[in-house]
Structure 1
Amino acid sequence: MPATNRKGIRLLLVDDEPHILEFLELGLMNEGFEIYTAADGESALAQYRENQPHIVILDVMMPGMNGFEVCDAIKRSGNQVAVIMLTAKDEVEDRVKGLTLGADDYLVKPFSFSELLARIGARLRNQFPNLLSEVAYGPFRIDDRRKELIYRDNVLELSPTEYELLTYIVMNNGVVLSKSLILDKVWGYDFGGEENIVEVYIRSLRDKLGDKEHRLIRTLRGAGYRLDLP
């Protein structure tokens, strides 16, 4: 679990399922975030206007005003805000619609709490870097303002792409990451090269980490890579 100063980072949770809302509220409060909740679209917009959250975690399927309508209204407000949409449907149409309306990320239920934390961390790094101090994950420390990644108190000499790749892997500690997913997140959707480029960069990172036996960045044949922090 990353350690960082999250005081003053405001999150709005919107879901009509009480047990999900309570689970997320308790978990994210324990992580140090300032949490607001809403169980429907109208209440969500009222909370949004009153509290000006940095990140809105927004369920798609709600009675009355659905998540797409709420996302559209929030993004039209003109304020700087990140929206992570939650849905029980793994359908391309829903994902495209949400992203078209300005959603910044997308999670399909059921999802792990650690994955949600990673997505929140990514949005903060990308859209609110001034809110974050140095973030620690086990023996790793990430200072995104300086674009430095420290491992066991040593600053790693990394190219810009190596920095983005290792940061992405570290922030998704314990999650299996396929080559195609890594390409999308690090190189971008319009990358026209071969998936083997990921292997080349992983090999370079292992060399720089002294991970000769692949105990830190593990290869799962046919699935991808997983970081196992000690």
Structure 2
Amino acid sequence: MNKRILIIEDEPDIARILKYAFAKENFLVRCEECGMSGIEAVKNFMPDVVLLDVMLPDISGFEVCKNLMKYKIPILMLTARNDIVDKILGLELGADDYITKPFDIREVITRVNVALRRIERIINKEEESEKIIIGDIIIIKKSREVYKNNELIKLKPKEYDLLLYMSENKNRVLSRDQILIKVWNYDFEGDWRTIDVHIRRLRQKLHCEELIETVFGIGYILKG
């Protein structure tokens, strides 16, 4: 899918050059010449990256940058000034990069692509941290979903909680008392048979008898 770039630049010639260059790179491009219209454009255009001029006719690019931080998209600031103080301020406000005019359009394209790759790596890393993979079983913590061979397995809330707890402690022997405390909490008034029933259901639903082993006289261990 084509990446979206929002260019907030009040100089028509520069905006036109940037628009042409990024359209040629298969970006979907939107240009705004004012800071406030740029802020509004982010809400409905939903860009993947923003090129932001520092000197705008209504509000400064620094104010725009500060406002756009909540959207967590990469921002590259453009300026005709080569003042180190301006660069530091922009970066401290959350800008990903700072490009001084006049610039080589090839460098701008490269820096935009680098910023996009960096944010994609961060997103991928965050998504991976939300997953637990054990063989052909994938547990997605954010949505509380479990897949086996890419097929969604419907688990009841406590079945999911039990599987999650055991998967986060895989290859460790967990006593029934530990499981009761962590999964059902201290106030649970049941007995060990409840755990055994839920373990049996997990084995059946996941079609994997060997995944959760019984440790006689103690509890269970999830092998992974």
Q: State whether structure 2 residue 93 is matched by structure 1 residue 109.
A: no
| AA partner of residue 41 (structure 1) | G
SS, match of residue 77 in structure 2? strand
Contact 1:59 1:87 in 2 (8 A): yes
Q: State whether structure 2 residue 54 is matched by structure 1 residue 60.
A: yes
Query: Hey, what does 2:81 align to over in structure 1?
Result: 89
Q: Aligned pairs, how many?
A: 124
SS, match of residue 90 in structure 1? coil
Q: 1:33 aligns with which of 14, 27, 36?
A: 27
Query: Hey, what does 1:119 align to over in structure 2?
Result: 111
Runs of 4+ in 1 over 3 A off after TM superposition: none
| AA partner of residue 39 (structure 1) | E
Query: Hey, what does 2:91 align to over in structure 1?
Result: 99
Unaligned stretches of 5+ residues in structure 1:
1-6, 132-230
Give the Å deviation of 1:129.
4.5
* Partner Cα distance (1:60, 1:130) in 2: 26
| AA partner of residue 124 (structure 1) | L
Query: Hey, what does 2:194 align to over in structure 1?
Result: none
Q: State whether structure 2 residue 6 is matched by structure 1 residue 15.
A: no
Q: State whether structure 2 residue 37 is matched by structure 1 residue 43.
A: yes
Query: Hey, what does 1:170 align to over in structure 2?
Result: none
Q: TM-score, normalised by structure 2?
A: 0.53
Contact 1:15 1:21 in 2 (8 A): yes
SS, match of residue 40 in structure 2? helix
Rg (Cα) greater in structure: 2
Give the Å deviation of 1:80.
2.6
Give the Å deviation of 1:85.
0.1
SS, match of residue 82 in structure 2? coil
SS, match of residue 29 in structure 1? helix
* Partner Cα distance (1:39, 1:128) in 2: 28
Between Structure 1 and Structure 2, the one with more helix by share is 2
Q: 2:63 aligns with which of 64, 69, 72?
A: 69
* Partner Cα distance (2:56, 2:101) in 1: 14
| AA partner of residue 100 (structure 1) | E
* Partner Cα distance (1:74, 1:80) in 2: 7
Give the Å deviation of 1:8.
2.5
Q: Percent identity?
A: 35
Give the Å deviation of 1:109.
0.2
Contact 1:54 1:80 in 2 (8 A): no
| AA partner of residue 43 (structure 1) | S
SS, match of residue 98 in structure 2? strand
C-alpha RMSD of the superposition: 1.8
Give the Å deviation of 1:119.
0.2
Unaligned stretches of 5+ residues in structure 2:
124-224
Q: TM-score, normalised by structure 1?
A: 0.52
What's the CA shift string for 1:104-150, capped at 9, x where partnerless? Answer: 0000000001100110111111102599xxxxxxxxxxxxxxxxxxx
Q: Whose RCO is larger (CA < 8 A, sep 6+)?
A: 1
SS, match of residue 128 in structure 1? helix
